[in-house]
Structure 1
Amino acid sequence: MQSGLPRSLSGSGPSHHAASSSHEIEEDFASVDSTAQDGESSAGEGSCTPPPLGRTPEPTRKWRDVFWLILFVLHAGLFGFLLVILGINRYRRNNRFPKLARLSTADGQQTQEFWPILGAAAAIGAVLGLGMLYIMCVRPNQLIKVAVHSVTAYLAVISVFCFWDEQFFWGIAFAIGAVLQFLYVVSVTDRLPFSVLVIKMAVKMLLSLPATIKVCYGFLSGMIAWMVLWSFGVSGVIAVGMDDHARWWILLALAVSLFWTGAVFANTVHVIVSGVIYLLLSYSAQCQAPLPSRPVLRSLRHAVTTSIGSICYGSLFTAAIRVFRWSIRGLRSRIGNNECLLCCVDFLFNIVEILVRFFNKYAFVQVAVYGKGFNHSARDAWELFQSTGVEALIAYDLTGAVLLMVTVLGGLITGTCVGIWTWYKNEDRVIMVGSTAMLMGMVQVYLCMVVIEGAVTSIYACYADDPASLSKWNTEFADQIAEALHQRFQHRSGRDVPAHMVGAQLPKPLPEIT
């Protein structure tokens, strides 16, 4: 390695997790255990050795993070029972359960008045999710532009209506959201073309394996079924005659439960898709060898059995840490020369970076490919990115933020549709029902968008493992990735980095969004 550059940029040498001496492509989607994965074996460039996912016989995977699986199952059972009780309590009569009657009054409403409205929210969210996924596959530029530029205006308009309705807390909350969204978009506009490029390439990979897109259909159906039960219980809470503060606290607890459940569904799809896309790129580097049979089915089997505990664990923390990290990065880029404020933000940033080391979405690729525990996967993925320099590219990439904006847009549309319906039926419950519907819509839309996110995470993981795998799949895209990485090193070092040291001739500049 020359001049201390990360090894993934040198354009030569073995892959970090290259396969060993077998020269036969077997038809199996197999994994290696986490000790074998650590990478002692190597193969020279141009070897037709199949990647670890294609070996047979398939090693038996160990169940990982079982405690978190048990906790999730107990949570689902407990909240499912609670939702049934809360819904039945006000269904077609007031206060069926005497103990709950002490917490409410007889002048409340009934569950069936709100259940159809929230059921419609689940249906609208599912339709929006599938529609937005389709648009992302055929016209990603248009949807991304709409999401990036309309969310700010949408939040501002909702804020005005909240103030008009004298809902000052929600008016301030949406106004703050609009301001933060505007400042964030202004600070990252120049990074959008690269993110659009990565999303387009991820979609191209998904379209080459249509079964990966269809994976979300089954999980979306399961999520709708859970939301039918969840909305039944929430309708009972909204209908009950009790103090608004107590009702909001109950809704908050139920919202956290829905968030975790939705994240588990979404990240299961993430693991399935990322495992298959990683396999596609790995086999592209192995002399255009054909993929093993039924890769999606076998990835699904691992995701819902031995890896489900890791998915439950990662789903509880990863999303919140990612949003916090984006916020800190955006604030850090806008501070300027205020040394006192910069010191405070840097302190928070360092804390977040420590958390990211153990909770990051790229861990799901390692979980899919190697079947390791979540913390082990997150640590290995982050160390790989830092040792290869790909972390600089990940920090520059905005695909996660862009998909989140699409998700928020879907939630806002769902909340608006349901809020208008509620306005005509029960004006004093508009904010409560509308905000609940917004959360339901966001969960449904994200469950569809995570298909693209799974492909994106696999691109970066495979590129860090072996840049040649991306080059053999699409040379032009690999060159553009190399160019972006070259530019990030120039930016970080404040000096020119010779183009030949990133392993590719730099192509023309990245295209603008059109």
Structure 2
Amino acid sequence: MASSSSSTQPQVHQQTLHIQAQDSSFTNTTTVTGQAVKWIFQILFFLQLLLISALVIFITRYDTDRTSDSSTIHHFHPHKWYPPILASTLCAAVLGFTWQFIIACYPKKAFIAAFWLSPLLALAMGIMFMLFATAWSWIPGLFSLLYAAIQSIYGLWVNNNNRFKYATEMFQDSIYYPPAKTKCFTFLSVIVATLYCGFLVYGVGGARAIENKTKLTDICVFVIILSLIWTMQVMKNAMQVTISRVKYIFFTNHRDMKIGNAFCDTIKHLIGSISLGSILVPVIVFFRGFARSQHLLGGKDGDCMFSCDTCAMGLAALLVSCGNRWGFVHVGVYNKGFVQASSDTWEMFMRVGLQELIDLDLTGAFCFLSGVAVGAICCLVSGIWSVIVYKDYAMELSIYAFIIGYFICRLAISWQQASVSAYYVAYAQNPQDMQFEQTIKARLEQLRRSHLQSPITAELEEIRRSYLQSP
């Protein structure tokens, strides 16, 4: 078994292009425990797929039997419910694949477009929800308007800090020379995801059709949507693990690996770690965002309301070191457990001084904004169609359409996010490799000069880093 320290040595990469059957281990646990956790989450993931499929089939069969009874009064109109949501699902597939193609061809313009289109489309989505004029529609409407305002301010702040230039240069360096058959692999992934979403939509519609016969309709719908979210997260991260492994081998060994071989290894060995990471990463990202917001609001106050600000920041730093999206690279390359992989990559970033640069990276924000933009378009398509056909379904179908559009877009562009992750991890592995462009080194030098020009800021930042790195 390779330890976390030996797994970062360059000679390990030159042994084989195929995944090595290492035992996964978690921090402060035995290897057996880590392997057991991987198997547990792998079983849970495939079990939920089986149970959700059985639930959808049962609901739709029950609905079919019910519709054959002519004495039953129907309150569900499938010809008004299905077309808007299925059309928006197809729209999500087209937009997702088109958007990843635009990013590959025009990364700089795509970056700028995502940061401005996302709040504008969220604003339009919020206005649409408000126009539904129902008690429940005000909640997503106000949330969308608030998001649009916050994102607009964030876009202006990022632009004023000249972070776009480095982000686009980094993106171009990372996605240059994509692996062979990447577009084909992405297209097939989007098609599979679209068909699966359509299948679950059929199940949600079946549950709505029998809501007068059972009180469990809302629970069934909630479970189906929850399964959809987890499954799409796993699909996205599985693709990210596959592509990041291929790109990492290219960056470190200067050799190519077939996507098909990497994907087969991912399905056979890594689904457990990916399933766990698909749960941990969104939760940790949400908590870290909350902690940062609290820090900005109360970091300079002595109010009791913000007395736990430093504790929240310290906990957020600890959680990030145990679960982050960069860990998916080591999951794919070394067959590690997700927590161990995240810890190893984060320690490597800190060792070579990349932590601050990672915190300033806009790739995650760009992918999130892209997903929101596509989700908002799908929401508008479904919502407007529903208002024209049957207004009672408008808010429900709009929310479903947004969720589907967001995740299909994230799946479509995951290969580009994976390329950036592999680039950072490969650079941290060997910063002296001459094949890397000067983008990261120039950015690090720029950050160093900015700290030297502001000694007080540098001192405060050093104190903060020392606190976050303390056990």
Q: What range describes the TM-score normalised by the shorter chain of this pair?
A: 0.7 to 0.9
The count of residues paired between Structure 1 and Structure 2 equals: 440
SS at match of 1:467: coil
Gap runs ≥5 in structure 2: 25-34, 460-471
Select the residue among 262, 274, 277 that pairs with 1:314. Answer: 277
Q: TM-score normalised to the size of structure 1?
A: 0.77
The alpha-carbon distance between structure 1 residues 171 and 303, as it changes in their structure 2 partners (threshold 3 A), is: same
SS in structure 2 at match of 1:145? helix
Residue 157 of structure 1 corresponds to 124
Runs of 4+ in 1 over 6 A off after TM superposition: 40-43, 243-246
Q: 2:336 aligns with which of 354, 368, 372?
A: 372
d(CA) in 2 for partners of 1:216, 1:363: 22
Residue 373 of structure 2 is aligned to residue 401 of structure 1? no
Aligned to 1:477: 439
Change (3 A) 1:495 1:125: closer
- CA offset at residue 92 of structure 1? 8.2
Query: Which of 60, 67, 91 is equivalent to 1:124?
Result: 91
| Alignment check: 8 A CA contact 1:275 1:365 kept | yes
Q: Percent of aligned pairs with the same residue?
A: 21
Task: Specify every segment of 5 or more residues in structure 1 that has no aligned partner in the other structure, as ranges.
Answer: 1-32, 44-49, 97-104, 285-290, 498-514
Name the aligned partner's letter for residue 480 of structure 1.
A
1:299 & 1:194 partners in 2: Cα distance? 30
Distance 2:320 2:400 in 1: 29
User: Of residues 295, 298, 303 in structure 1, which corresponds to 2:266?
Assistant: 303
Give the secondary-structure state (helix, strand or coil) at the position aligned to 2:76.
coil
Pair 1:353–1:86, CA change in 2 (3 A): farther
- After superposition, the Cα gap between the structure-2 partners of 1:162 and 1:489, relative to the gap in structure 1 and judged at 3 Å, is same
Q: CA deviation at 1:309?
A: 1.0
Deviations along 1:29-69, whole A, 9 cap, x unmatched?
Answer: xxxx533x6328968xxxxxx65254389744458401100
Q: Which residue pairs with 2:469 in the alignment?
A: none
Alignment partners' CA distance in 2, 1:243 and 1:152: 41
CA, structure 1 residues 370+493, in 2 after alignment: closer, same or farther (shift >3 Å)? farther
Distance in 2 between residues matched to 1:40 and 1:231, nearest whole Å: 43
Q: How does 1:36-435 map to 2 (within 5 A)?
A: 38-39=5-6, 52=13, 54-55=15-16, 59-62=20-23, 64=35, 65-91=38-64, 93-94=66-67, 106-111=73-78, 113-166=80-133, 167-189=137-159, 190=161, 191-206=163-178, 209-242=179-212, 250-284=220-254, 291-292=255-256, 294-330=257-293, 332-333=295-296, 335=298, 337-340=300-303, 342-435=306-399
Q: Which structure is higher in helix share?
A: 2
For residues 415-458 of structure 1, the C-alpha deviation after alignment (integer angstroms, 9 at most, x for no partner) is: 11122222222111101001101111111100011111111111
Would you say the 8 A contact 1:34–1:371 is kept in 2?
A: no
The superposition leaves residues 247-299 of structure 1 with CA deviations (integer Å, 9 ceiling, x where unpaired) of 55543332221111001111111011111111111124xxxxxx15x442332
1:218 Cα offset (Å): 2.5
Q: In the TM superposition, what whole-angstrom CA distance separates every residue of 1:136-157 from its partner, at most 9, and x where no partner exists?
A: 0111222222221232232223
- Alignment RMSD (CA, Å): 3.1
The answer to whether the aligner puts 1:454 opposite 2:418 as a matched pair is: yes
* Corresponding residue of 1:508: none
Of 8, 11, 34, the match for 2:2 = 34
TM-score by length of 2: 0.84
* Partner Cα separation in structure 2 for residue 40 and residue 446 of structure 1: 30
Partner of 2:408: 444
Matches of 1:243 and 1:330, distance apart in 2: 45
